[in-house]
Amino acid sequence: MSLSPDDVKRIARLARIEIDDSQALASQSQLNTIFDLIATMQAVDTQGIAPMAHAQEVTQRLRADSVTETDHHAAFQAIAPAVENGLYLVPKVIE
């Protein structure tokens, strides 16, 4: 299997990373060497094997439903790129 420059651009688009044609081309060859390495696992017969998503076989602990947080928006927004009236500002969102 191998990625085309268009594949690279499609995934860069999914990941919201700007990439131009020459970068896509350069990434493509590097990514393909990595995918060649990854491809070695395709040969393994994993029928009947349960996927392992977590390092420990434990189940989710549940938090009691109570309000434990207080307002820290001033501290949080002191490090924000753009805020006004307590809101984070972003370029206009068009729906």
Residue 40 in tokens = 């070695």
From 2, 4, 6, 39, residue interacting with another protein (rule: CB under 8 A): 39
How far apart are the C-alpha atoms of 79 and 61, rounded to whole Å?
A: 32
From 2, 6, 21, 76, residue interacting with another protein (rule: CB under 8 A): 76
Is residue 3 classed exposed, middle or buried when 0-12, 13-18 and 19+ CB atoms within 10 A define those classes? Answer: middle
In degrees, rounded to 5, the angle at the alpha carbon of residue 77 between the alpha carbons of residues 75 and 80 is 130
Q: Are 21 and 5 in contact (CB under 8 A)?
A: yes
Tell me if 59 contacts another protein by CB under 8 A. Answer: yes
Tell me if 5 contacts another protein by CB under 8 A. Answer: no
From 2, 21, 25, 88, residue interacting with another protein (rule: CB under 8 A): 88
Q: Which residues bind another protein (CB under 8 A)?
A: 3, 7-8, 11-12, 14-19, 27, 30-31, 33-35, 37-42, 44, 46, 49-56, 58-69, 71-73, 75-82, 84-93, 95
